[in-house]
Amino acid sequence: MRTKLITSASAAALAVAITSPAFAGPTYENDTGGSFTWYGQLNPSFQSYDDGTETYNRLVDNAGSNSRIGFRLKQAYGENSLTFHFETAFGFRSSDGVSQASTGDNLSWDRTNIRHVDLQFDTARYGRFSVGQGSMASDGIAGSDRSGTGVVAGVAVADPAGGYEFTGGPGGVSVGDVFTDYDGGRLGRVRYDTNNYNGFVFSASYGTDILKTNNDRETYDVAVRYNNENIGDFALDAALGAAWTEETGKDDKRDIAGSVALEHMPTGLSLALVAGERDIAGNYGYAKLGYTADWTPLGSTSFSVDYYDGSDMASTGDSAQSWGVAAVQKIDNYNVEAYLAYREYSYDDSSTSYNDSSVIMAGARWKF
């Protein structure tokens, strides 16, 4: 009965998202080059996780692109502009925040759900200067992807089920413990981005965790990004970055990650490759094949298959693999992406071979 009720709730949520009218947050402008724009998205998903012994079915918020709302207030100053950016997640129960032992709260908001409280000064000659809570320079460096399925399948393979523990062993090892991408995050930071030089943008930042109490974390990072959609029949996205973190009571660490995504525009075929390493822990490699076609008047249809291989993530000599398949259907008139994905996880350490597990994610992201 519980499974039927949750499935019905998920179906109802998807129906609401798909049948809701398209609505984009309005932009208000003044006579001096100022504007105010708000936006948001909802991303409910039905999650079914099988840990090798039992199956758990829940309605969750997709952690890969959580439900959120925000606004931008922008004012031009000649050829330059100043932007204030605010964004917060709603705090719905996250797909990586539930486990065998906990269903989590349906709604639990605190200040760690704030994603951006950020001032950005864009200059025509000298690039962009940013200060406040927001993305570090290395945020997104592992995410180059042109497959069209990024809403539910990507290098962050733990997002669909990161809180669940592997069974068949001593316990205490979760999916999120052994699958990571070493991608940069969001902190209270100062950041600088250069102008675009023939497709290249260079970035650097310094940040600390201002949303948590009693925290003295300090992170420094640098990154370079490249984008070119006019390489003959191909389009290319690439990124590379490194971050150094210091925190009292913890070992200093250095993370390096990079990604490249190539798409053949006439056929819709794409390939993404990602790799990352932490100097005091493990490393991984990731590959993804994608295909996008315009089969219906609704919008593009995308498919992907991917594979992740990591080692030494939780302990020396351990091994973690995951593979997944995903399908995403865009419904352009309603700003909706409906998706279905399946992913398997396997993990072994030097003494134990844990049970393989799997997760199904079915949902829809509605942007407004």
Q: What mean pLDDT is predicted for residues 21-37?
A: 77
Cβ contacts of residue 367 below 8 Å, gap of 6+?
39, 40, 41, 335, 336
Q: What mean pLDDT is predicted for residues 168-191?
A: 95
> What is the number of domains present in the chain?
1
Res. 20 pLDDT band, cuts 50 70 90: very low
Task: Determine the number of helices (DSSP H) and then strands (DSSP E) in the chain.
Answer: 2, 19
pTM above 0.85, yes or no: yes
Higher pLDDT, 268 or 26: 268
Question: What is the model's pLDDT at position 232?
Answer: 96
pLDDT tens-digit readout, 250-292? 999 999 999 999 999 999 999 999 999 999 999 999 999 999 9
The CATH number that applies at residue 344 is 2.40.160.10
How far is residue 235 from each of residues 262, 272, 295, measured CA to CA in Å?
6, 12, 21
pLDDT-above-90 percentage for the chain: 88
Residue 168 backbone zone (phi > 0: left; psi -120 to 50: alpha; other: beta):
left
Query: What domain range is 112 assigned to?
Result: 2-367
Question: What is the model's pLDDT at position 361?
Answer: 98
In this predicted structure, the answer to whether residue 135 has a pLDDT above a threshold of 50 is yes
In this predicted structure, the answer to whether residue 7 has a pLDDT above a threshold of 50 is no
CA–CA distance, 168 with 53 (Å, rounded to integer): 9
pLDDT tens-digit readout, 49-68? 999 999 999 999 999 999 99
In this predicted structure, the answer to whether residue 15 has a pLDDT above a threshold of 90 is no
Residue 174 DSSP symbol: B
Res. 23 pLDDT band, cuts 50 70 90: very low
